[in-house]
Amino acid sequence: MSDLLIFSGRVSLPLAEKISQGFNNKLSPLEIKNFADGEIWLKYNTNLRGKTVFIIQSTNPPADNLMELLIALDAAKRASAKQVIAVIPYFGYARQDRKDQPRVSITAKLIANLLTKAGADKVIALDLHANQIQGFFDIPFDNLFASSILIPYWRKLEIPNLAIVAPDMGASKSASYWAKKLHADLIVIDKRREQHNQSHIINIIGNPNGKNLLIVDDIIDTAGTFAGAVEALVKAGAGDIYASFVHPVLSNLAYDKLKRITDQNWIKKITVTDSIPLPQNFINISSLEIISVAPLLAEAIRRVYNNESISSLFDQEEMKK
């Protein structure tokens, strides 16, 4: 692996350091600074000519994280790297993947264009919000699933009388997959979203009474959907309630909601991954536990570098969701 180089933007540095442990701590230095006005300056302190370069960076807000990745891709390409692969643990701006009303942007497609134009030869991502976003790219794209790490974790807990809960219709296919793998029942929350970050529950499809429940979804942002689902399930007679999310976006609106349901002992445990660093103010929420996706991403990087198949890292049933 003499021509393998792994770099990281600032937001993903903690995760990248874990990933690099699988490569004898082979995380190469990347110098990044900001000018007084906030403009980003970036420099590779390693010769990239003829090298295979992996750049790890999530693109969650603020937009500087995306700009950092674009600049890093451009600089690597201009430094004559043989191949430049963007490893994006959290693909930001993915929730706007279609023109669902007049005069709006399809930002997922815009980001795809920007990444390609900046010099990415390939993209590796984790749990895209919508799988069809892969079709926006004209370069190879691999979408990994954190369920390959999360499901074994929850299986080991051996929670009795378990049902998997989809907090909305959009999560129902993924929840159905979890239910099949964990031999559990399936419950779906029917909600209506009146505007961004605001929704209310209409109906619970399935019977949560007396069951222990595991709520699963890809993103937790304001926690409004999650908190509303927990409250409705408690009222419906649920037993212990757990939750598992991949990407802890966790905007400031989420803190009070999570604190409230935790303080009332409505939730036993919430797992999230380290695809995004957990916001500092959420660390003191005792029910939150972080599960690292570094082993999954490290194995994907190793296989891509060795030109090996990574299809076994995708569960074929999961890819159909």
Q: Looking at residue 193, what is its pLDDT?
A: 59
Radius of gyration of the chain (CA): 20
Q: Looking at residue 257, what is its pLDDT?
A: 92
Q: Is the peptide bond before 62 cis (omega within 30 degrees of 0)?
A: yes
- The ranges assigned to domains in the chain are 4-144+295-319, 147-292
Q: Looking at residue 100, what is its pLDDT?
A: 85
Q: Which CATH number fits domain 4-144+295-319: 3.40.50.2000, 3.40.980.10, 3.40.50.2020, 3.90.1150.10?
A: 3.40.50.2020
pLDDT at residue 315 tops 90: no
CATH class of segment(s) 147-292? alpha beta
Using a pLDDT cut of 70, give the percent of the chain over it.
93
Condensed to tens digits (0 to 9), the pLDDT of residues 34-63 reads 999 999 999 999 999 999 999 999 999 999
Of residues 191, 257, 268, 321, which has the active-site annotation?
191
Residue 202: band (very low, low, confident or very high) from pLDDT cuts 50, 70, 90: low
Q: Dmax over Cα atoms in the chain, in whole Å?
A: 62
CB atoms within 10 A of CB 17: 14
- Ramachandran category for residue 247: left, alpha or beta (phi over 0 → left; psi -120 to 50 → alpha): beta
Distance CA 268, CA 220 (A): 17
Average pLDDT of the residues of the chain: 92
Q: How much is the average pLDDT of 158-169? A: 95
Q: Does 259 qualify as catalytic in the annotation? A: no
Distance CA 236, CA 208 (A): 6
pLDDT at residue 223 tops 50: yes
Residue 111: band (very low, low, confident or very high) from pLDDT cuts 50, 70, 90: very high
